[in-house]
Structure 1
Amino acid sequence: MKDMQGRRAAVTGSATGLGRAIALKLAERGADVIVNCARSLDEAERTADEIRALGVEARVVQADVASEEGCAALARAAADWGALDMLVNNAGITRHAPDHGDMDALSAQDFLDVYAVNVVGAFMATRAMRPLLEAAAAASGRASAVLNTSSIAGVTGIGSSVAYAASKGALNTMTLSLARALAPSIRVNAICPGFIGTRWFRKLMDDDAYARQVEQVKARTPLRAASEAEDIADAALFLLSDAARHVTGELLSVDAGLHLGFAPLKAR
């Protein structure tokens, strides 16, 4: 299905993981894509090559969304197209401090670093791209789409650290604010994944520990599932597509039901 043929998208943090999966699915649907990374340039180039193999255009922009210059560089790349139909604010970082009761585990700088990417970066990227998103809406008669990658941590307060959960909570409320402010020419939504089987989790533990983590996740979700990047990307594509043309200001949990709380095994 090539329902996004001729549309242009920018996906921040798309060299690997969820961002990569979203960028590839956009390309499969016919969209040209800007692939962005802060450091992983070789992986970004490989992702771009996979996108080009699908018959669409890919551009790689190495830029840190936590800086105004980085966001300006992204906007300059998109400006060559004259308009931008979709922006996915996917870039994100954390500082790992899973014991939320250990208030000495995080410094003030940890909070500032996490907020700089997860919240301020998403704001600055949206601000930099706004004229291009509005231009696409004016040309097509269809609202452009901004999608923020949040987390169930921003809804429940769980997650890799208090700083990370707080940043995603802030991103959620910013999603609501911008959905009001940028309408009617731009729709703004967020996805809130739970566990995703990407390098984000895998790099924290060895293979055996990771396998145990996956089984624990399955046991705690009503759907008995541990999501992969492609599972979350499918939900992202819905919010970016015309199927969601009347959807804005939504925070969509895509976590196999983890936000519902502990799911005991049922007797059969």
Structure 2
Amino acid sequence: MAKAGKVALITGAGTGVGAATALMLAGKGYDLLINYSRSANDAEASAAACRAAGADVLVKQGDVAQDADCRAMAQAALERWGRIDALVNDAGVSVFGAAADWDALDADTFQRILAVNALGSFQMVRACVAALKAARGCIVNVSSVAGALGVGSSMPYIASKGAINAMTLHLARSLAPAVRVNAVCPGLITSRWFVQGVGQQGYEAGLKAYEAGVPLQRACSPEDVAEAIVWLVDGARTVTGELLMLDSGMHLAGVKPPR
């Protein structure tokens, strides 16, 4: 396939949705900056798959909660390719089982989740916005049904995703017409992140309950979410300010995700 000459910067791209998105964009001719925080081996494996698909790939460690790391990622992409056409804010953290337990969370945990999920997304936008405007590019924020429905793994996670949704709408207005800004809001995703949060038994029980309760009777795979992100990045030319629900109709049925 001919190179598109475009560049995507994806945070949290070592595993799950971020890795699936990177590989799909590589197949469409994008060069990629793959960011990771802790999963160096996974990030290198993701990068190798993207290179095999034809992409030039730069792997960059960084914590999006740190502004200096965000700026360093943007600068690295510009030094390598001279442009940034797409920013995908996928990096995220949570805690599980504490959504209704007032005493289960301390301030440090709450602030860390907000710092990565919400502040981190903002800082990445700020670091990349000049390049995105120059390229007339786009931003896709990976949010969650938690931010739209007020249910999820924990109170700070719900709050952080609600903040991302609000920022998406604000940025779509303020950055138009140069930059399109959208968010995807998945329900339950069949990834190891959820297994690590609740354990294999909890995951299997939660998945069964979720698929029994939502209208389409299926959860999202990382590839399902990635397909939507890639459409928003590489197509969707008249779409901005959308919070795209990828929840198999959970918002229609009123089903709460497992905790």
Q: Answer yes or no: same fold by TM over 0.5.
A: yes
- Is the 2:36–2:60 contact (alpha carbons within 8 Å) kept by the matching residues of 1? yes
**Partner residue of 2:48?**
49
Structure 2: gaps spanning 5 or more residues: none
Larger Rg over CA atoms: 1
**Partner residue of 1:130?**
129
- Is the 2:8–2:30 contact (alpha carbons within 8 Å) kept by the matching residues of 1? yes
What is the percent sequence identity of the aligned residues? 45
Q: Where does 1:130-169 land on structure 2 (aligned, <5 Å)?
A: 130-137=129-136, 144-169=137-162
Residue 112 and residue 86 in structure 1: after superposition, are their counterparts in 2 closer, same or farther (change >3 A)?
Answer: same
**Partner residue of 1:91?**
91
- Is the 2:143–2:161 contact (alpha carbons within 8 Å) kept by the matching residues of 1? yes
For residue 213 of structure 1, report the CA deviation from its aligned partner. 2.2
**Partner residue of 1:26?**
25
What SS is found at the alignment partner of 1:203?
helix
**d(CA) in 1 for partners of 2:99, 2:154:** 7
**d(CA) in 2 for partners of 1:227, 1:89:** 18
For residue 109 of structure 1, report the CA deviation from its aligned partner. 1.5
For residue 261 of structure 1, report the CA deviation from its aligned partner. 2.4
> 2:33 aligned with 1:40, yes or no?
no
Q: Where does 1:59-74 land on structure 2 (aligned, <5 Å)?
A: 59-74=58-73
Pairs aligned (count): 254
For residue 204 of structure 1, report the CA deviation from its aligned partner. 3.1
Q: Where does 1:196-207 land on structure 2 (aligned, <5 Å)?
A: 196-207=189-200
**d(CA) in 2 for partners of 1:107, 1:4:** 48
- Is the 2:186–2:247 contact (alpha carbons within 8 Å) kept by the matching residues of 1? yes
What RMSD over aligned residues (CA atoms) do the two structures have, in Å?
1.5
**d(CA) in 2 for partners of 1:232, 1:30:** 19
- Is the 2:195–2:202 contact (alpha carbons within 8 Å) kept by the matching residues of 1? no
1:188 to 177, 181, 197: 181
- Is the 1:66–1:121 contact (alpha carbons within 8 Å) kept by the matching residues of 2? yes
**d(CA) in 2 for partners of 1:167, 1:209:** 24
For residue 251 of structure 1, report the CA deviation from its aligned partner. 0.4
**d(CA) in 2 for partners of 1:59, 1:167:** 28
Paired amino acid for 2:249: G
**d(CA) in 2 for partners of 1:250, 1:231:** 17
1:174 to 167, 188, 192: 167
For 1:144-195, what per-residue CA distance to the aligned partner results, in whole angstroms no more than 9, with x for missing partners? 1100000000011111001100110011001011111111111110000000
For 1:63-97, what per-residue CA distance to the aligned partner results, in whole angstroms no more than 9, with x for missing partners? 11100111011111111211111000110111223
**Partner residue of 2:118?**
119
In the superposition, the TM-score normalised over structure 2's length comes to: 0.94
What SS is found at the alignment partner of 1:133?
helix
What SS is found at the alignment partner of 2:225?
helix
**Partner residue of 1:58?**
57
What SS is found at the alignment partner of 2:197?
coil
For residue 208 of structure 1, report the CA deviation from its aligned partner. 4.1
